[in-house]
Chain A
Amino acid sequence: MEETLIWKLEAKAKEIRRYIILMTAAAGSGHPGGSLSATDIVTALYFGVMRLDPKRPDDPDRDRFVLSKGHAAPLLYAALALRGFFPEQELITLRKLGSRLQGHPDMRKLPGVEMSTGSLGQGLSAANGMALAARLDGRDYRVYVLLGDGECQEGQVWEAAMAAAHYRLDNVTAFLDYNGLQIDGPVEEVMSLGAVADKWRAFGWNVIEIDGHNFREILGAVAAAKETKGKPTMVIARTVKGKGVSFMENQVDWHGTAPKADQASRALEELEG
């Protein structure tokens, strides 16, 4: 059973990665690096974990996903389209005038987008608010949130970390896409996060460290988070920026640069393989 799910996730992740390349190439801008690094996490959530009905995007009992690192919008859009929230053909309109697929996610434009994000550091607070609402309403939905490592330099992240632990939000599961690179260079050089796992632990979180490209570990972390009572869970997922495209992997320049036509063809060829 689990084998079947993992094959399915691997196939979906490949499709999503291909779309990330196609979409950013067509747009001529966007953020492929951090979309590819988090692809396996988001794929696991949308195709293996979350309770969702694309026909009822406003179902009050749905699980929520907040893309705090909003620049990974191509990844979110590809996952939503493949999950059936809107037609796949629309993916190619990314960043075009009049499109529902804004450069960063706009919850008022596209069904399935739970929060408008893009200004870094704000997603965890919003996720906490949804989790508090679930508690007030006696609903059992869970809230997932994806943060970038550079993003954790924002002070608000730590305000939210403190509050989630204070209010014992065990229905919040956060993923840290720990790819080690931000726009200006390696996170370690730009502004080190130091002992990041210890920091989250010290803030009162259940911390799990995994390989962010291993579906068994991702699913295992989600299951462990569901079992954890009285505290939120942070899954620190070690990832590779640009994962899946050899010439993009671990290259800081692919943070916010779209592939040109020939680069896109090479990337797609690799992703076929």
Chain B
Amino acid sequence: MAEKIATREAYGRALVALGAANPDIVVLDADLAKSTKTIDFKKRFPERFFDFGVAEQNMMGTAAGLAAAGKIPFCSTFAVFATGRAFDQIRQSIAYPRLNVKIAASHAGITVGEDGSSHQSVEDIALMRALPNMTVFVPADAVEVAGAVKAAVALDGPVYIRLGRAPVPVIHGEDFVFRPGEAVLLRPGNDATVIATGIMVAAALEAAAVLAQEGVAVRVLNVHTIKPLDVAAVTRAALETGAVVTAEEHSIIGGLGSAVAEVLGEHCPVPLKRVGIRDTFGESGKPQELLEKYGLTPADIVAAVKEVLGRKGKNS
């Protein structure tokens, strides 16, 4: 995994590519075009780019009106503002009337880094997942971003796409096909399953490689669509491997870990451990330092797998 690209970079490129093909695509930003990379779209299609200044609520509401009149607006800003500042607008003006608005939330999670907790969204997945009509994509790499943006255009209804600031490894080849709602089996294995999303997918693969050297065959499922969750793949993994670890750069409350726990609890309870941010706000620091402090490294996933294996009554 040599090449590293930030998912927000891939977002900017995908917008330009799709914008050329579809004149209904319009892009909205809230004074962060250089950071969210919508600046590329602005340069190419200035008449279809609208900056709303530091006013996320109005941006979301205006997007609703654009969508009601047949446009496909992409609203871009940092995840923490997209979902927190404008939650009511997303709920009332976008999700409830099921309008065709795409929310591209960059700088998600703690890896936004030094800006600290005010800029680190650790609850955005939970917020968006709770909204009826909302589809939630959390791409793991640049290739998935391209697929997610394309899928969002094809999908008639509100979509949340979670993007990161820091460069992340490219996992998929160019032939990867993004299918909304379908989990991707990245590594087979029957001892335990790591279900990961976003930047934690690469970490899960690293953890699986470490465990393989110790003779533990870990299945790695990449869940790029948190909602609708691939219930069949999650259930199958639980039944076939008997132990599950979830990994996400998000609070363990309300995100992927909760979504998986809900499925397991209802369908096939097995030992489960959620790797994620443990009900706390973040702090300033380098992305890597923060990942280590908050327990989001491959080593943390390895430890979690060992714990569930112990509870499973195997390898203990």
Contact = CB atoms under 8 A, between A and B. Distances in A.
B239 to A, nearest CB: 38
Nearest to A133: B69
A108 B61 contact: no
A60 B71 CA distance: 12
Nearest to B91: A119
A129 B88 contact: no
Contacts of B88: 119, 122
Interface residues of A, number: 33
B68 A122 contact: no
A187 to B, nearest CB: 22
Nearest to B28: A129
A130 B93 CA distance: 13
The B interface, classified by DSSP as helix, strand, loop or mixed, is helix
B47 interface: yes
A250 B60 CA distance: 35
Given A134-B69, A156-B58, A159-B55, A129 B97 contact: no
A128 to B, nearest CB: 5
A127 B66 CA distance: 9
Interface string A41-73: 000000000000000000010001010000000
Contacts of A108: 97-98
A101 B88 CA distance: 22
Contacts of B84: none
Contact of A126 (B47, B50, B61, B96): B61
A137 B92 CA distance: 26
Tell me if A's interface is mostly helix, strand, loop or mixed.
helix
B258 interface: no
Contacts of B52: 159, 163
A129 B47 contact: no
B46 interface: no
Interface stretch (A12-20, A28-36, A110-118, A252-260): A110-118
B180 to A, nearest CB: 22
Contacts of A130: 65-66, 68-69
Given A115-B64, A122-B89, A129-B69, A159 B96 contact: no
A156 B66 CA distance: 17
A11 interface: no
A129 B57 contact: no
Contacts of B96: 106, 116
A242 B60 CA distance: 33
A136 B26 contact: yes
Interface in B43-63: 47-48, 50, 52-53, 55, 57-58, 60-63
B104 interface: no
B85 to A, nearest CB: 11
A129 B61 CA distance: 8
A237 interface: no
By Cβ-Cβ distance, the 10 closest A-B pairs, closest first, are A129-B65, A125-B61, A133-B69, A159-B58, A126-B65, A159-B55, A116-B97, A129-B66, A119-B92, A129-B62
15 contacts: A66-B65, A106-B97, A107-B68, A115-B93, A115-B97, A116-B93, A119-B91, A122-B89, A124-B61, A125-B62, A129-B65, A130-B65, A132-B26, A156-B61, A160-B62
